[in-house]
Amino acid sequence: MKKHIDIILRYLIIALIALPNLYLFYLIFTPLTIYPLYFILNIFFDVALTGNSLLLNGFSINIINACVAGAAYYLLFAINMSIPGIKIRKRAYMIGFSFLSLLILNIIRILTLILVLFYGASFFDITHKFFWYILSTLFVVLIWFAEIKFFKIKQIPVYTDFNYLYKKARIKK
């Protein structure tokens, strides 16, 4: 019965943390994305920060929610929470590792796009689409694989829970 409660609590947390519309992830990770960008760019350019916009060399770069990648943070959170049998401390380290990894990779991604905008503006659209559709997904997958290796994860997210519940179910074919 304790395992059933653990499953219910973990999935309830996964569902509730997404409300409303991943707000918590954008609240936390928007400033954690914008301020490092501002400080790094300020080393090389004269940069002004106005709200979520970086103003430099006649360009206004708006860091919108999609740039912050709140959905990717949520996906990593959901994956980490849907692994059974992980102690709270280890789970916290795993989530921290995945969030910090994504934050660093995302800042590098945005910096790269800003440099492409300045030094190869004709390549910006194709580079942006490549980063958006392919690289962002690849980031999440690589971070998850790194977690599997680093934290020695043996369970399969979601599947392990459903398999357990199926085996415990009274009604079977």
Buried b vs exposed e over 32-65: b needs ≥16 C-beta within 10 Å? ebbebbbebbeeeeebebeebebebeeeebebeb
Q: Say if 124 falls within a structural domain.
A: yes
Greater model confidence, 149 or 123:
149
Tokens of 123: 């390549």
CB-CB contact of 60 with 3 (8 Å)? no
Query: pLDDT tens digit string along 60-99?
Result: 899 999 889 999 999 999 999 999 999 999 999 999 999 9
Q: Say if 89 falls within a structural domain.
A: yes
Domain count, the chain: 1
Q: Say if 77 falls within a structural domain.
A: yes
Kindly state the average pLDDT of the residues 24-28.
Answer: 94
Tokens of 110: 């945005």
Kindly state the average pLDDT of the residues 27-48.
Answer: 94
Q: What is the pLDDT of residue 173?
A: 58
Q: Say if 173 falls within a structural domain.
A: no
Q: Say if 80 falls within a structural domain.
A: yes
* Confidence at 24, pLDDT banded by 50, 70, 90: very high
Q: Say if 127 falls within a structural domain.
A: yes
In whole angstroms, what is the distance from residue 26 CA to residue 33 CA?
10
Q: Say if 16 falls within a structural domain.
A: yes
* Residue 99, SS3 per DSSP: helix
Measure CA 77 to chain center. Answer: 8
Give residue 30's domain range: 2-168
Q: What is the pLDDT of residue 127?
A: 82
Using CB atoms within 10 A of its CB, is residue 74 exposed (0-12), middle (13-18) or buried (19+)? middle
